[in-house]
A and B are shown apart, each in its own frame.
Chain A
Amino acid sequence: GAVVSQHPSWVICKSGTSVKIECRSLDFQATTMFWYRQFPKQSLMLMATSNEGSKATYEQGVEKDKFLINHASLTLSTLTVTSAHPEDSSFYICSARDPQGGGTEAFFGQGTRLTVV
């Protein structure tokens, strides 16, 4: 199947700083990518839909100025958590669908464990 790679796998940052997470589709082009957040023992909650060459679409309750999404190429989307606080500590995971593969199955990155201290 298609491969989605996410970097870094884990990051620890100080409160008030910004952290950038990268999501790459390695063997296919993804015009759309999705960013999820997962708190411990909870489900994956969609934060935003990242669209190549246009603005991201944010889910209700997600601050677009705090979670900056850039999808500048067909293989890369980035999520920047600005002015991170301890409550932003979570598992962030991206996904994309391969249009050449039918566009049905979602492929996930390995996730990024963010800890804000």
Chain B
Amino acid sequence: GENVEQHPSTLSVQEGDSAVIKCTYSDSASNYFPWYKQELGKRPQLIIDIRSNVGEKKDQRIAVTLNKTAKHFSLHITETQPEDSAVYFCAASITTGFQKLVFGTGTRLLVSP
């Protein structure tokens, strides 16, 4: 089955800096890669996602890159703000047949003012 690894487990940056979180996946059949932000006690919130037919996607300060050959994808947050502080999870899935999402281990991002 799919296995998703994520690092770093914690990331501390100064406000305004960039943050990068990396994930690798094992199943070459996976074709959908979402990123979630989760605040304490809340549900995960989708912040950006990418399909395997695209190499990069950007939404304002957030971007995701995908390298299918290497089976890894990354989240890039630019101009970080204190409100970006949260736990971020990557995930991988096969989109056909409502396949399950497999989550990475999570990255705790702390943005200091």
Q: Which residues of A contact B (CB under 8 A)?
A: 31-32, 34, 42-46, 49, 91, 93, 95, 97, 99, 103-106, 108-111, 113
Contacts and interface: CB of A to CB of B under 8 A. Distances in A.
Nearest to A31: B98
A34 B89 contact: no
Contacts of A46: 100-102
Contacts of B104: 43
B49 A44 contact: no
A43 B103 contact: yes
B26 interface: no
17 contacts: A31-B98, A32-B98, A34-B100, A42-B106, A43-B89, A43-B103, A43-B105, A46-B100, A46-B101, A91-B41, A99-B98, A105-B49, A106-B93, A108-B43, A110-B42, A110-B43, A111-B41
A97 B98 contact: yes
Interface in B22-52: 32, 34, 41-44, 46, 49, 51
Interface residues of B, number: 20
Interface in B90-113: 93, 95, 98, 100-106
A111 B43 contact: yes
Given A43-B105, A44-B89, A105-B46, 16 more contacts: A31-B98, A42-B105, A45-B103, A46-B100, A46-B101, A46-B102, A49-B100, A104-B32, A104-B49, A106-B34, A106-B93, A108-B44, A109-B43, A111-B41, A111-B42, A111-B43
Nearest to A48: B100
A45 B106 CA distance: 12
Given A103-B98, A105-B49, A44 B44 contact: yes
Contacts of A105: 34, 46, 49
A19 to B, nearest CB: 18
A34 B103 CA distance: 13
Nearest to B90: A43
A90 to B, nearest CB: 12
A23 to B, nearest CB: 12
